[in-house]
Amino acid sequence: MQLLNFQYLLENVNAETEKLKLARDEFVAQWGALGSQWGINRTMAQIHALLMTAPEPLTTDEVMEELEISRGNAHSNLKELVAWGLLRSVVKKGERRDFFEAEKDVWQIFTIVARERKRREIEPALSILHKCAEVSEGIDTPEGKAFHDQMRALEDFVGFASKMSDRISSMKHGFALQLATKLLG
């Protein structure tokens, strides 16, 4: 009887472990697909998802094995995620290998991604819009005036959106949710 109970328990643990692995694999795949939407490549997003859902920090070798990627690919993406601030290197006593853990606070992830997207995408776009508006200022043709007006309007809008993003990401999580609820409610 005791052997049957142990076997039943083992089967249930294996079934739960398999369900968790399938759910985690699905999340990692989908997070990877979403990565391009927030300015990073698929593998970088998959590594982030893997580490974000890992109960313990992982080594480069474990990331490589889990995602079936090369050492170079793993290393360069881990390095980039650390540079973004989405991962940190962890030292384990008695270990010579590098371990990595992800930022798990969702609000903190949002603020990091917003900051990096602003630096990589919004600021260069604003710079180009400003330059185009300056260059076209004073052009006395209908096309020149229309172009200048459009560049200024875009510059104003992107600048406004950037300031709003800065303001929201600098808020405390709870306050931001309250504000969003009021605006959307």
- Tell me: do 110 and 65 sit in the same domain: no
- Tell me: do 43 and 71 sit in the same domain: yes
What's the average model confidence in pLDDT over 7-17?
Answer: 69
- CA–CA distance, 18 with 14 (Å, rounded to integer): 6
* Position 94, amino acid: G
- Tell me: do 98 and 114 sit in the same domain: no
- Tell me: do 93 and 165 sit in the same domain: no
Domain, as residue range, for 29 = 2-102
What's the average model confidence in pLDDT over 62-68?
Answer: 96
Give pLDDT, residue 134. 95
- Tell me: do 120 and 77 sit in the same domain: no
Give pLDDT, residue 77. 96
- Tell me: do 119 and 61 sit in the same domain: no
13-22, 27-36, 125-134, 172-181: range with highest mean pLDDT: 125-134
Q: Is 177 helix (H, G, I), strand (E, B) or coil?
A: helix
- Tell me: do 83 and 26 sit in the same domain: yes
CATH number of the domain at 9, please. 1.10.10.10
- CA–CA distance, 29 with 21 (Å, rounded to integer): 12
Q: How many domains does the chain have?
A: 2
Residue 76 has pLDDT above 90, yes or no: yes
- Token digits for 54? 């890992």
Give pLDDT, residue 29. 92
pTM of the complete model: 0.73
pLDDT > 90 in the chain, percent = 56
- Tell me: do 112 and 91 sit in the same domain: no
Give pLDDT, residue 179. 67
> Quick check: 180 and 174 in contact, CB under 8 A?
no
Q: Give the residue from 102, 135, 164 where a domain finishes.
A: 102
Give pLDDT, residue 115. 86
Residue 172 has pLDDT above 90, yes or no: no
DSSP 121-144: IIHHHHHHHHHHHHHHTT--SHHH
Sheet holding 58-59, edge to edge: 58-59, 99-102, 87-90
> Quick check: 86 and 108 in contact, CB under 8 A?
no
Give pLDDT, residue 117. 83
Could you give the angle at which helices 106-117 and 71-84 cross, rounded to 10 degrees? 90
